Amino acid sequence: MTDISMIEAAQARLDGHVRRTPLLSSPFLDEIAGRRLFVKPECLQHTGSFKFRGAWSAISALSPEVRAKGVIAFSSGNHAQGVALAAKIHGIPSVIVMPSDAPRIKIDNTRAYGAEVVLYDRANEDRDAIGARLSQERQLTLVKPFDDPYVIAGQGTAGLEIAEQAKELGIEKADVLVPTGGGGFISGVALALEAKAPDFVVHPCEPEGFDDVARSLASGRIERNSTQSGSLCDAIITPQPGAITFPIMSRLCGSGLVVTESEVLHAVALAFNRLKIVVEPGGAVALAAALFHGETLGETVIAICSGGNIDPNVFRLALDQSAI
Amino acid sequence: MTDISMIEAAQARLDGHVRRTPLLSSPFLDEIAGRRLFVKPECLQHTGSFKFRGAWSAISALSPEVRAKGVIAFSSGNHAQGVALAAKIHGIPSVIVMPSDAPRIKIDNTRAYGAEVVLYDRANEDRDAIGARLSQERQLTLVKPFDDPYVIAGQGTAGLEIAEQAKELGIEKADVLVPTGGGGFISGVALALEAKAPDFVVHPCEPEGFDDVARSLASGRIERNSTQSGSLCDAIITPQPGAITFPIMSRLCGSGLVVTESEVLHAVALAFNRLKIVVEPGGAVALAAALFHGETLGETVIAICSGGNIDPNVFRLALDQSAI
């Protein structure tokens, strides 16, 4: 199981390879939020999301012999790009299994980061069977998107940075808001902060209708989303909390915050206008929660913007809807 | 005159108040540029531009008695916001003199950062006379936008950061590209690098038709722009190089690079898509030069994106024109 020593070991492996993202702020956002608000822009991370941390952590933890054979991942999104680039820099092959109807730009980007993309037909082919066959034939190691101790440890390095940066700013107490899908990111961050900033409370943030983590934390058992499609926040939509991540979240997280799509788009536009960063909808749910649902939070909030891989048309929509 | 000890003293005064912006990169941009390209995103600085550094440096260098009376600046742009916020944090009054036809949003932002905005009628009133009267009546200190040793020293702190960050990345030689208006930013950066990374060559970057610095460096004497309006890159349009900055640039800068507006818009779109940052046209000229005019440059280029205060309609235009 992931613990602080695993996160610190991941940080040592990531040193010099991962970007230390700054903490940003704006008096205009403080005013909207009604409290002091800091933003950790993981959209500025390599490949445009925090996923690079976990991918690097998992790949760098493999033995050289196992690693040399290569890795495999199932993803059409940020995890795919994180694994592809981390593998490329390690000089090893990566195979990313994607549905054939994934957006062309995501397929192209993943290839451009050095991966071999294997497409499958969602209707007629079994993704897991394809993955299992490839893994076996080529002895590839599977890098899971969230339910893996090394991936969680890698994501936790962002939590170590938050603890250090908050200390530099003299912040002794804060609510830390994290966009949450399967729970790998928030689990890592929560474990890091438990050790390094125990007065910080971590909250998962999700879009309305896809709030499996908030509901699971409230009921004390794993709850599912009724659907997996139809959200602008596609990057953080998963069926349910992970088997490894749920116990960590249950032990360490405060209550979940839920935001509307309209609030998310407004947050994307405000991040453009006031912070000069590009955030994707899924990556902006924590910022939206901080801006528009802060009633239950304390005086200082740190919201992570987890990714920036947004479709330009969705970005235009955010600017249009917010009349910015 | 500004020297390295003044820049280091400014860094000490700025410590804890200025944001240390990271160095970003993307393999996609390296490929377009045909070389290794790093971007220093000063758009992520407080108030959305590097101007906050110079403003803080100048204000913090005043004696407490003089400072307490307040400061004044002439600007409708990034300098106004930098001075306003730096004054506010110092707890002193600031007066910003702006033309009454300045964009509403810029007036509002400057007020929101805490300044008293004094509007004048460009056609019938003399800006300098208004400023002189206010300065005298209230004993306000003028903070110039570029032709001031303390402002140059403040801008130079970005150069110190570049030297440190390049060293961490093992970069021993680089061309450093800087968006250039009056020359305060590039002068500070060049002085810092002369001391800390003497093998780096600094180049001013300007938009076509407003290349007074490139022409002045080529001819060896101060050349003027024939017009001061009509550029998307308004943030860096000045009539001519400064009296203090020109000798520094002449001594330390490599040749100037000139880009088209279409290249600038493309750079804005690529910064959105590949770096997840928001850059204004004037702030993107160095990135555009690195991407599209790198023929004469070496293997490693560091381009500063100097500001991000872009009109959303211009941002839409950049996305549209670049078909991103």
Same-domain check for residues B182 and B298: yes
Q: Determine the number of helices (DSSP H) and then strands (DSSP E) in chain B.
A: 14, 9
Low-confidence ranges of chain A (pLDDT < 70): 324
Does B24 sit within 8 Å of A44, measured CB to CB? yes
Does B21 sit within 8 Å of A22, measured CB to CB? yes
> Is the CB of residue A43 less than 8 Å away from at least one CB of chain B?
yes
Same-domain check for residues B28 and B177: yes
Residue B41's closest chain A neighbor by CA? A276
Taking the CA of residue A125 and the nearest CA in chain B, the distance in Å comes to 32
Does A19 sit within 8 Å of B24, measured CB to CB? yes
Q: Which of B:153-172 have CB within 8 Å of A?
A: 168
CA-to-CA dists, residue B2 to B157, B251, B266, angstroms: 12, 14, 35
Q: Which of B:263-282 have CB within 8 Å of A?
A: 272-273, 275-279
> Is the CB of residue A113 less than 8 Å away from at least one CB of chain B?
yes
What is the reported pTM? 0.96
> Is the CB of residue B24 less than 8 Å away from at least one CB of chain A?
yes
Query: Which of B22, B276, B312 shows the shortest C-beta gap to A22?
Result: B22
Same-domain check for residues A106 and A243: no
Same-domain check for residues B246 and B227: yes
Given a contact cutoff of 8 angstroms between Cβ atoms, the answer to whether A176 and A202 are in contact is: yes
> Is the CB of residue A308 less than 8 Å away from at least one CB of chain B?
yes
Structure confidence at residue B162 (pLDDT): 98
Sort out which chain B residues have CB atoms less than 8 A from A324's CB and list them: 312
Same-domain check for residues A159 and A93: no
**Final residue before a domain boundary, out of B113, B142, B171:** B142
Q: Per DSSP, which regions of B181-280 are E strands?
A: 201-207, 257-259
Sort out which chain B residues have CB atoms less than 8 A from A316's CB and list them: 316, 319
Does A316 sit within 8 Å of B319, measured CB to CB? yes
Q: Any bridge partners for residue A314, and if so which?
A: none
Mean pLDDT of chain B: 96
Same-domain check for residues B29 and B167: yes
Same-domain check for residues B207 and B137: no
Of A225, A109, A277, whose CA–CA distance to B26 is shortest?
Answer: A109
Does B273 sit within 8 Å of A277, measured CB to CB? no
Same-domain check for residues A46 and A59: no
Across the A/B interface, how many CB contacts are shorter than 8 Å?
66
Residue B42's closest chain A neighbor by CA? A276
Sort out which chain A residues have CB atoms less than 8 A from B308's CB and list them: 276
Please state the ipTM of this predicted complex. Answer: 0.96
Low-confidence ranges of chain B (pLDDT < 70): 324
Full residue range of the structural domain in which residue A316 is found: 4-50+148-321
CA-to-CA dists, residue B25 to A45, B33, B163, B302, angstroms: 10, 12, 16, 10
d(CA A177, CA A201): 9
d(CA B34, CA A300): 44
Same-domain check for residues B160 and B137: no
Same-domain check for residues A19 and A114: no
Same-domain check for residues A283 and A294: yes
Write the pLDDT tens digit of every residue in B54-109. 999 999 999 999 999 999 999 989 999 999 999 999 999 999 999 998 888 889 99
Residue B318's closest chain A neighbor by CA? A312
Of A35, A36, A53, whose CA–CA distance to A44 is shortest?
Answer: A53
d(CA B120, CA B100): 5
Query: Which of B22, B28, B276 shows the shortest C-beta gap to A43?
Result: B276
Write the pLDDT tens digit of every residue in A197-221. 999 999 999 999 999 999 999 999 9
Structure confidence at residue A123 (pLDDT): 86
The two tokens of residue B200 are 């780096």
Same-domain check for residues A82 and A212: no
Taking the CA of residue A85 and the nearest CA in chain B, the distance in Å comes to 10
> Is the CB of residue B86 less than 8 Å away from at least one CB of chain A?
no
The domain that holds B134 is classified in CATH as 3.40.50.1100
> Is the CB of residue A12 less than 8 Å away from at least one CB of chain B?
no
> Is the CB of residue A48 less than 8 Å away from at least one CB of chain B?
yes
Count: domains in chain B: 2
**Final residue before a domain boundary, out of A120, A142, A164:** A142
**Final residue before a domain boundary, out of A98, A117, A142:** A142
